[in-house]
């Protein structure tokens, strides 16, 4: 890993980046990471592809035309395949994002004494991914995420508005949240958010009957869910960058760039 290296996870609605910064004094030979998340760039040519160390995708690749095909062909050798995620009993149809967060949470839990984990990844979808104490993929649950639920209500009903995500995030809403709001917009946001928190809480409680399981929260809506889970006194670890940290760890050795020639400057 060197300063300036980039990692990219293409999600369903956003692109997620990790960038290696200058080496830290605490660990010689390592670099701190900066994470960022945003919409896909309107022009892929502006991306410094020559700095890309590895990438993965669960969403569509917004690269079209002959020029885009050329970039994609060069990038393919740097793509992290599902088979590189060292979870046992991992089905080939599981999304790379679920595999990454499941492995990284289990890996972190193993460093704290071990045990099974349940990862709640709150993004476009809410995915609950279970990993057993030995590092085996053990199933999960999937449902629409907060924004997906709210936008679906607006599109499929006659009287409900089409809402957009709040730029302030969920934390301000949770802090002053009336569980029984009068306003329609608030009722939609509160109803969907409480439903997601209830799904996470029930999933974790169900697993406690099977084996001790630690709950890990990640994804863009995780801070809002965290506030609600604290109210229910459910223990959890908030780790918003599980997927990106896993992508970095799994692509650091060997170097996935191999013998690919450097990209031409944009």
Residues 95 and 65 occupy one common structural domain: no
Asked if residue 264 belongs to a domain, the reply is: no
Asked if residue 61 belongs to a domain, the reply is: yes
Residues 137 and 229 occupy one common structural domain: yes
Residue (of 106, 121, 124) closest to 200 by Cα position: 121
User: What 3-state DSSP class applies to 194?
Assistant: helix
| Axis crossing angle, helix 184-208 with helix 146-156, rounded to the nearest 10 | 140
Residues 196 and 238 occupy one common structural domain: yes
Q: What CA–CA distance (Å, rounded) separates 179 from 194?
A: 9
CATH number at residue 87: 3.30.420.40
Tell me the per-residue pLDDT of 198-243, one tens digit each, with 9 for 90 and over. Answer: 999 999 999 999 999 999 999 999 988 998 999 899 999 999 999 9
Residues 74 and 15 occupy one common structural domain: yes
Residue (of 51, 58, 60) closest to 18 by Cα position: 51
Question: Under 8 Å CB-to-CB from 249, ≥6 apart: which residues?
Answer: 104, 107
Residue (of 189, 181, 198, 143) closest to 164 by Cα position: 189
Residues 91 and 209 occupy one common structural domain: yes
Element (H, E) at 207: helix 184-208
Asked if residue 256 belongs to a domain, the reply is: no
Residues 129 and 233 occupy one common structural domain: yes
Residues 120 and 234 occupy one common structural domain: yes
Do you find a cis peptide bond into 254, omega within 30 degrees of 0? yes
Q: How confident is the model at residue 23 (pLDDT cuts 50, 70, 90)?
A: low
| For the chain, percent of residues with pLDDT exceeding 90 | 58
Residues 66 and 96 occupy one common structural domain: no
Q: Is this prediction's pTM over 0.85?
A: yes
Residues 116 and 238 occupy one common structural domain: yes
- Asked if 35 contacts 246 with a C-beta cutoff of 8 angstroms, the reply is no
Q: What pLDDT score was predicted for residue 171?
A: 56
Residues 58 and 116 occupy one common structural domain: no
How many domains does the chain fold into?
Answer: 2
Answer whether residue 118 shows pLDDT above 90.
Answer: yes
Asked if residue 48 belongs to a domain, the reply is: yes
- Please give the residue range of the domain that contains residue 216: 83-247
Residues 66 and 94 occupy one common structural domain: no
Asked if residue 106 belongs to a domain, the reply is: yes
E-only strand ranges, the chain: 6-10, 15-23, 31-38, 52-57, 116-122, 125-131, 137-144, 213-218, 237-238
Asked if residue 258 belongs to a domain, the reply is: no
């Amino acid at each position: 890993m060197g300063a300036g290296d980039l990692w990219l996870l293409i999600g369903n609605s956003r692109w997620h980046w990790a960038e290696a910064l200058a080496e830290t004094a605490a660990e010689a030979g390592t670099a701190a990471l900066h994470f960022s998340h945003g919409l896909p760039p309107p022009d892929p040519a502006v991306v410094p592809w020559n700095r890309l160390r590895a990438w993965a995708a669960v969403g569509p690749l917004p690269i079209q035309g002959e020029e885009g095909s050329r970039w994609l062909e060069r990038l393919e050798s740097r793509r992290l395949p599902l088979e590189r995620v060292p979870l046992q009993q991992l089905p080939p149809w599981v999304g790379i994002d679920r595999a990454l967060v499941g492995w990284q949470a289990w890996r972190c839990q193993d460093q704290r004494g071990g045990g099974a984990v349940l990862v709640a990844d709150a993004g476009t979808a809410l995915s609950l991914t279970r990993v057993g104490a030995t590092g085996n993929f053990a199933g999960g649950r999937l449902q629409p995420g907060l924004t997906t639920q709210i936008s679906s209500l607006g599109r499929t009903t006659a009287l409900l508005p089409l809402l957009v995500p709040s730029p302030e995030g969920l934390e301000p809403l949770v802090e002053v949240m009336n569980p029984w709001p009068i306003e329609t917009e608030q009722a939609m946001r509160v109803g969907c958010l409480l439903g997601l928190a209830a799904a996470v809480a029930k999933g974790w409680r169900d697993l406690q009957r099977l084996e001790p399981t630690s709950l890990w929260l990640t994804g863009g809506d995780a801070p809002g869910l965290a506030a609600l889970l604290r109210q229910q006194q459910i223990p959890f670890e908030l780790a918003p960058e599980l997927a990106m940290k896993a992508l970095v760890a799994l692509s650091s050795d060997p170097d996935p760039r191999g013998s690919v020639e450097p990209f031409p400057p944009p």
